[in-house]
């Protein structure tokens, strides 16, 4: 499992093809004054597409990303791309940060310096981490799985080997949100002895379907109902991605405007932006994330993870990990759960209700998230 230094360098022909496709976008009609009610707002999408074509500089963003130390290694036949930044404190502990969908390893780019060099940002040097940020297989610059059954559990196995075999960390911490929380949970189930602790920004959604309503407290029952309501109003994307991802992928892989519309609608709905995306994200961040999907042609392989989760054997209702767990809940995330629900599945030792922020916490509120991660792991460092 030799580590190879990795530099992002997208062929110019790929970028030229992207610009030509943007020019040829065929725009659908739209209901008057519909805003975002029917989905992605056409006026804002047109503005962003024009910016993508006329102003956005991928080479500038590529250079920014290449400031991080990046590598690729092959584990069980899969090429895994990852960032590895060493901590600058006296005794940094390793931490694995795992992104979700529809974001990418870019999700963590603001968080990395806050964790590796906290003293530079007003924190304590002794709270530093060695930070590892992989691209989930099928996302970004990691290889795309071509076999059935490539679940979050399989990803967790590869990431464990990345940390313990490739990078020689005997024990490490882990943090994640969205798919990152599911993968982090699977790490804790399969390799508890390798983990110092885990930190999550949400409770993996599959637990909504593994409990019996009559066993829940009234507060948990309200949470379950909220989840069902959300599924009916906002969950259509997950249903199609977990049942017919291939059909969806033909359009998204062929049209950059279509791909962008599919992705940014989630950023608009799931963030603490009051519906105005650029209150939380710059155009460069939105377009860098979308460009990563476009140039790597990974939208299909990324959404297949939903299909694999839907078709794997059902989770047990009694699964619970005893690995020390910290949970930071951001108010505009999808459906923040009550503490009692989380306690059913995790050994929760820190529970933080954040004052602001949404689903993409590492991008929206990196300082708040970094401080909570540091606070959670501080008493656990001796066990490292």
Point out the catalytic residue in the list 81, 175, 191, 359: 359
Q: What is the CATH number of the domain that holds 96?
A: 3.40.50.1820
> If you average pLDDT over residues 286-298, what whole number do you get?
98
176 in helix, strand or coil? strand
What are 77-102's pLDDT values in tens digits? 999 999 999 999 899 999 999 999 99
How many distinct structural domains can be found in the chain? Answer: 1
Active-site residue, selected from the candidate residues 306, 307, 333, 372: 306
**How many angstroms separate the Cα of 348 from the Cα of each of 199, 263, 321, 339, 343?**
9, 32, 10, 9, 6
Which residue range(s) make up the domain with 273? 4-383
**pLDDT greater than 80 at residue 324:** yes
pLDDT tens readout for residues 104-149:
999 999 999 999 999 999 999 999 999 999 999 999 999 999 999 9
Active site residue 359: yes
Residue 190 contacts residue 164 (beta carbons within 8 Å): no
pLDDT score at 384: 75
178 classed as catalytic = yes
Beta bridge partners of 70: 83
- Predicted TM-score (pTM) above 0.85: yes
The active-site residue out of 103, 117, 143, 178 is 178
User: Using CA of residue 295, residue 182, residue 379, residue 332, what is the dihedral sign?
Assistant: positive
Tens-place pLDDT, residues 218-260: 999 999 899 889 999 999 999 999 999 999 999 999 999 999 9
CA 159 to chain centroid, in Å, comes to 15
Decide if 306 is catalytic: yes
């Amino acid at each position: 499992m030799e580590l190879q230094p990795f530099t992002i360098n997208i062929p110019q022909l790929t970028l030229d093809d992207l610009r030509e496709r943007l020019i040829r976008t065929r725009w659908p009609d739209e209901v008057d004054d519909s805003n975002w009610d029917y989905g992605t707002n056409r006026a804002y999408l047109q503005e962003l597409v024009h910016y993508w074509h006329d102003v956005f500089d991928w080479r500038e963003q590529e250079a920014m990303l290449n400031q991080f130390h990046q590598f690729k290694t092959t584990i069980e036949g899969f090429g895994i791309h990852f960032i590895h930044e060493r901590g600058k404190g006296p005794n940094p502990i390793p931490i694995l940060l795992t992104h979700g969908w529809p974001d990418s390893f870019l999700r963590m780019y603001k968080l990395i310096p806050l964790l590796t060099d906290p003293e530079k940002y007003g924190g304590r040097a002794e709270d530093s981490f060695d930070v590892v940020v992989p691209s989930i297989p099928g996302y970004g610059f990691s290889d795309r799985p071509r076999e059935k059954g490539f679940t979050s559990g399989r990803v967790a196995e590869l990431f464990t080997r990345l940390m313990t075999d490739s990078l020689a960390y005997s024990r490490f911490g882990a943090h994640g949100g969205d798919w990152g929380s599911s993968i982090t949970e699977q790490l804790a189930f399969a390799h508890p002895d390798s983990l110092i602790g885990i930190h999550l920004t949400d409770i993996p959604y599959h637990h909504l379907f593994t409990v019996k309503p009559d066993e829940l407290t009234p507060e948990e029952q309200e949470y379950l109902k909220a989840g069902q309501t959300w599924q009916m109003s906002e969950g259509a994307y997950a249903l199609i991605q977990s049942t017919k991802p291939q059909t969806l992928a033909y359009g998204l892989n062929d049209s950059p405007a279509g791909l962008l519309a599919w992705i940014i609608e989630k950023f608009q709905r799931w963030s603490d932006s009051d519906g105005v995306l650029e209150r939380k994200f710059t155009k460069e961040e939105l377009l860098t994330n979308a460009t990563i999907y476009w140039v790597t042609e990974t939208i299909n392989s990324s959404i297949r993870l939903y299909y694999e989760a839907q078709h794997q054997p059902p989770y047990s209702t009694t699964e619970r990990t005893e690995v020390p767990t910290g949970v930071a809940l951001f108010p505009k995330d999808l459906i923040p759960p009550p503490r009692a629900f989380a306690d059913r599945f995790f050994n929760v030792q820190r529970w933080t209700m954040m004052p602001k922020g949404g689903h993409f916490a590492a991008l929206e509120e990196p300082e708040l998230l970094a401080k909570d991660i540091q606070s959670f792991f501080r008493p656990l460092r001796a066990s490292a």
